[in-house]
Chains A and B, each alone.
Chain A
Amino acid sequence: MPGPVTAWGPSIPRWFTWLLRLLFLLVAFLISVVTFFFRRLPVSHRSLPPSSSIRERSLGQSRQEPFPAMAYLSMGEAHRRITDYLSRFCDAVSSQDAATLSALLAISSNFASLQAPADALNVFQDSNQLVNQVERYAQFAEILSPLLRCLQSYRLGRYSDAYVAFEKAANAFLQEFRNWETAWAMEAVYILALEIRLLAEKADRELSSSGKNTEKLQGAGSFLMKIFGALAGKGPKRVGALYVACQLFKVYFKLGTVHLCRSVIRSIETARLFDLDEFPVKDKVTYMYYTGRLEVYNENFTVADQKLTYALMHCSPNKEANKRMILKYLIPVKLSIGILPKQWLLEKYNLMEYNEVVKALKTGDLRLLRRALREHEDRFLRSGVYLVLEKLELQVYQRLMKKIYVLQKQKDPSKAHQLKIETAVKALNWLGMDMDMDEAECIMAILIFKNLTKGYISHKNKVVVLSKQDPFPKLNGKPVSS
């Protein structure tokens, strides 16, 4: 049956239709080949200011670009990607879709999904105009323009610039957030808090490697306080305050300005705005971890025990690394109140640096304690528990005296409660500690004063008379009295 072509005009020979089809295919093929090569052409051949983009690219490469070489994009594609990003942002805001919004703001934590628009920004240099021209985007211009700048800088590995731009965008976003009545965008605010810290850390690393002053993290701290201020108060936005507080703690600990945590803690705990139960457990664990650590540094062992134990109990079971971090501080606290961890715990969480300390406490071997402190001195000093562990010496002395007492009791129960100072000196000398009568008497005096030993010292007779009942009371979960 003749095809549609032949139905219209004079009959066309069959070979002609085949030729037409062939020609058509050839042209299509040629077009695809041309566009294929077209895409492959370097960006500079496009109608853009060539120098800047080449310079940027080569700079980026010499800076050991962390990301693969930029894709070669057409202007049209770049434009499309940017408008796609902008639309998604505006759609998310208008439909109150916090999840999408967060993904768009997660510059460093989720960069893989943002790489496409980031690449586009380095091709299409005029994004500012784009934002301002379209009504829909222009209303968020204060947020979107710096945000795009941030993406662009981040892609080029210029973290300092990225941070500065992000801070601007974040400030503007916070303003908007303040105006929204509900807390629908809380997830986005969390991302904001996280990102400002991560970007600041990256920026400071970049600054310090080029010999400049590192100040971005401090700025991040100030901004976090602003967010905190926006969340503190009555209303549904309160629920995010603990997360932001934890970000602040991380910043202050990193900067070494730990004393600034005090005002944050005061706002959370003493101001009657917050009820700790209303926060998500995950945030509470982090909060208790940091505040517990602070209590360890201030040697408030009872409170530190409560907080760190809470953190450990409520820590998600699969977060082994977090548990280890908590235990690193909880173990010295427990030791200070007379509770010793089991060997398997130290092994399971790879905290074997405490192993000898525990052994020394069990056996009263002072030499072992001192050796353990020397061996892991650097690690203990860095984590800040060194002074806490030093104080355990008194408990080790107590253990040793108790051993002597027990041995004496076995030999001659009637005279056991009289501990000659000379005997203590001999025992310590045998352990390799250089000690004389005066020092031994001094140690006994302090043991009695701190209620680790019950009895009295007869200086004239050089003997310690121990109480007949329970002369070496256990700590039983209370710290040594000060």
Chain B
Amino acid sequence: MDRETNRPKKLGFRPSKAPNPSPSSSSPVRLRPREEAKRDSTSSIHERRNPVLDEDEETGSPIFSYLVGTCPDMCPAKERQQRERLRDLSVFERLHGDPSRTSPKLAVKKFCRTMSNAELQEVEIRPLPVLRSTLKYLMNLVDTSDQPFEVVHDFVFDRTRSIRQDLTRQNILDDEAICMYEEMVKFHIESHKKLAMCYTKTDLASLCYLNTEQLMKCLATLFKLYDIHRRSSSLHKNEAEFYSFYVLLHLGGKIPQMGSSLSLWYRKLTLSILQSNEMRFSMTLIRYSRLGNFKRFFTRLEAEASDLQLCLVEPFLSEIRARAISYVNHSGYKLQPYPLKHLSDVLRIKESELEELCHVCGLETTMDEAGMKTLPVKQTSFSLPKLGLPVHSLSTF
């Protein structure tokens, strides 16, 4: 629409170069002299619209041509100096703990929303090899750091967002990008579980929400990358599993909505994905959860879930278990309290944890003559607590 008439300035146009009255000014003013040389070989890429970017809000405005980054470090020198001056350094970036000194090996570029790309310079964008090593460094940090997890998560969350920003600005859509996005999705899934484990801290609830939001954004971009990949070759080897993550997210009640329901999302999938084992597995789990067949739900989950799938689902298990408890409470026989041991077997949870869950939901537990813990049924005090439920992992038997 407006794009036709609103021809953008070519990126990287630096007014400071204008005073040079050399013959190079005979070339169109819009183009930077350096960019002209690159144009011939990469002009086809530059002129194509980026399908991935259109909905990526992180870069703000749509891009019309792409930069090729030249920054050699994890953080551009200019930003390093600026942040040293402002003492805006994360605890991981400080040299010997000094909040005003950092080094190229420690500083990582921050995420920031820019309104237009006219201000960007190529030396501020990191090229693909640097992005790869940056991501590796960050993932390593997650595994090895002894800082509390929330702090690590917050740092890596922000810095990976910046990596994604650089990737889209350079229109990197190939297998390398797919690999990196998959790594980032893995990070978010593992964080999803680790953050949920500390449910009692109220500020973590918003952290969990934001993490899930970023997870969904990563997945959305990753799916677009898979689409592009599929045009030239067959399914990517991890594609089915990552699609199944999106489905499994719908087991949780409070996930941020991606705009349309699961029914509508299924419409867009290709047959090959829908028929893959991972998708079948996740769609079946959703079915069992919606029907309330918790017995099958847990047996199937235990039997077939991959590590990452389990990681993703475990924070949702408490809600499913709580619902199961409410069914049992509602349908039981008043004079016969329900044995917790049996219920804990079916729900794949430790008996003590089940007892805790009952109490959190407002239900009492008692002991029968044989010393076994039981749940008196037909209690009217059942309610799901607002603050969230404790997360218990899957206990296998």
Contacts and interface: CB of A to CB of B under 8 A. Distances in A.
Interface of A: 164, 167, 212-213, 215, 219, 222-223, 256-259, 296-298, 377-378, 381-388, 390-391, 393-394, 436, 438-439, 441-446, 448-450, 456-460, 465
A456 B89 CA distance: 62
Interface residues on B, range: 35 or more
A384 B267 contact: yes
B358 to A, nearest CB: 16
A391 B331 contact: no
A457 B267 contact: no
B290 interface: yes
Interface string B40-54: 000000001101000
Given A449-B327, A458-B333, A378 B263 contact: no
Q: Which 7 A-B pairs have the closest CB atoms?
A: A446-B292, A259-B259, A448-B331, A384-B263, A442-B295, A445-B331, A439-B295
Given A458-B333, A459-B333, A298 B261 contact: yes
B294 interface: yes
A145 to B, nearest CB: 15
A383 B338 CA distance: 43
B333 A391 contact: no
Given A164-B4, A390-B287, A442 B293 contact: yes
Interface string B297-334: 00000000000000000000000000010111011111
A336 B33 CA distance: 67
A219 B294 CA distance: 47
B86 interface: no
B145 to A, nearest CB: 39
B268 interface: yes
B332 A459 contact: yes
Nearest to A458: B333
B370 interface: no
Contacts of A456: 331-334
B336 interface: yes
A207 to B, nearest CB: 10
B381 interface: no
Nearest to A448: B331
B242 to A, nearest CB: 19
A interface, by DSSP: helix, strand, loop or mixed? helix
Nearest to A444: B331
Contact of B336 (A298, A391, A449, A458): A458
Contacts of A259: 259-260
A439 B263 contact: no
Given A384-B267, A457-B333, A213 B49 contact: yes
Contacts of B338: 459
Contact of A439 (B267, B293, B327): B293
A442 B342 CA distance: 12
Given A442-B293, A446-B293, A212 B331 contact: no
Interface in B2-24: 4
A444 B51 CA distance: 50
Given A259-B260, A394-B291, A459 B327 contact: no
B296 interface: yes
13 contacts: A167-B1, A212-B49, A259-B259, A377-B274, A381-B266, A384-B264, A442-B296, A442-B324, A442-B346, A446-B292, A448-B327, A459-B336, A460-B336
Contact of B262 (A164, A258, A387, A439): A387
Interface string B249-275: 000000000011111101111010010
Contacts of A297: 260-261, 263-264
B339 interface: yes
Interface in B215-262: 259-262
A331 B171 CA distance: 46
Given A296-B263, A438-B295, A442-B294, 12 more contacts: A212-B48, A215-B49, A259-B259, A297-B263, A381-B274, A383-B267, A387-B263, A436-B295, A439-B295, A446-B291, A456-B334, A458-B333
A475 to B, nearest CB: 16
A134 B199 CA distance: 76
A212 B49 CA distance: 8
Contacts of B324: 442
B261 A438 contact: no
A349 B305 CA distance: 42
B348 to A, nearest CB: 12
Nearest to A455: B331
A108 to B, nearest CB: 20
Contacts of B267: 256, 381-384
Contacts of B332: 456-457, 459
A390 B330 CA distance: 24
Given A256-B267, A378-B271, A438-B346, A391 B290 contact: yes
B394 to A, nearest CB: 17
A443 B293 contact: yes
A296 B262 CA distance: 12
Given A164-B4, A457-B333, A449 B290 contact: no
Contacts of A377: 274
A449 B333 contact: no
Nearest to B55: A257
Contacts of B262: 387
A256 B262 CA distance: 12
A256 B55 CA distance: 14
A448 B48 CA distance: 59
Contacts of B330: 445, 448-449
Nearest to A384: B263
A311 to B, nearest CB: 19
A391 B260 contact: no
B292 A449 contact: yes
Contacts of B274: 377-378, 381
A384 B265 CA distance: 9
A420 to B, nearest CB: 14
A215 B62 CA distance: 13
A298 B296 CA distance: 25
Contacts of B327: 442, 445-446, 448-449
A213 B51 CA distance: 7
A439 B331 contact: no
Contact of B291 (A296, A298, A391): A391
Contacts of B331: 444-445, 448-449, 456-457
B263 A385 contact: yes
Nearest to B292: A446
Contacts of B336: 458-460
